[in-house]
Amino acid sequence: MPTVLLLGGTGEARRLASVLLPAYRVISSLAGRVAAPTLPAGEVRVGGFGGPEGLAAYLRAERVDAVVDATHPFAARMSANAAAACATAGVPLLVLRRPGFALQPGDDWRHVPSLEAAAALLPALAERVFLTTGRQGLAHFAHLTAQWFLVRCVDPPVPPVPPRLEVVLDRGPFTVAGETELMRRHDIGALVTKDSGGEMTSAKLDAARALRLPVVIVDRPPATPGVPVLSTVDEVVAALPV
């Protein structure tokens, strides 16, 4: 039975694990950054590998036949480690990345390359901001004392954080009606988000469009050169070399 290592706790990774079983031995690796992750079918390991060298050693020890990088589109370090480890161990690597968000008529988007660039835009954009970039990047906004932030994340954030904020602990999928009501209730003037794509969190963009709010979109990091990038579970299953 071929062994496939799936990197990432995304919805796409969970669907792929279910599709591959029982024809494959499936090991799903989760980073462990969320306290209570939704677990996929099959074997699960939690935590890092110790860099590309540790991952390459793991691939050899577990006799992994193929790796699928289905991490979050912004997990650039893990993707780079996977590419290096697979090259060292001689294991085929595929990347599963859902498409990014698509601009719709009526959208007012401002694309930026980083969280730092997003923070630099806000003083001239809005005083009350809905920030949905995750808890780990809040330090980039901690110096903004004039803005009030509504921050949504799965687990509570840790300092440094913006001095004026309200935290909502929640996990998608979200509805357009719910996002619209949330933004209206907090008198939000701008939305900041990452171009993570997917239907679980796209409702906030629909709500921002309906409310005519500007949206700051943090662009994805570039893909690892030379690694095939596929956008659906079916494409990955068809492309698996084992």
pLDDT in tens, 199-214: 888 999 999 999 999 9
Q: What mean pLDDT do residues 22-46 have?
A: 87
pLDDT in tens, 166-209: 999 998 889 999 999 999 999 999 999 999 998 888 999 999 99
All structural domains of the chain, each given as residue ranges with its CATH number in brackets, are 3-98+221-239 (3.40.50.720), 109-218 (3.40.50)
Q: With bands split at pLDDT 50, 70 and 90, how would you rate the model's confidence at 35?
A: low
pLDDT score for 198: 84
Answer whether 67's CB lies under 8 Å from 94's CB: yes
Please state the pTM of the whole predicted model: 0.88
Answer whether 208's CB lies under 8 Å from 183's CB: yes
**One-character DSSP codes across 120-141:** HHGGGT-SEEEEES-GGGGGGG
Q: With bands split at pLDDT 50, 70 and 90, how would you rate the model's confidence at 216?
A: very high
List own/partner pairs for 142-148 with CB under 8 A and 24 or more apart: 143/119, 144/119, 147/122, 147/123
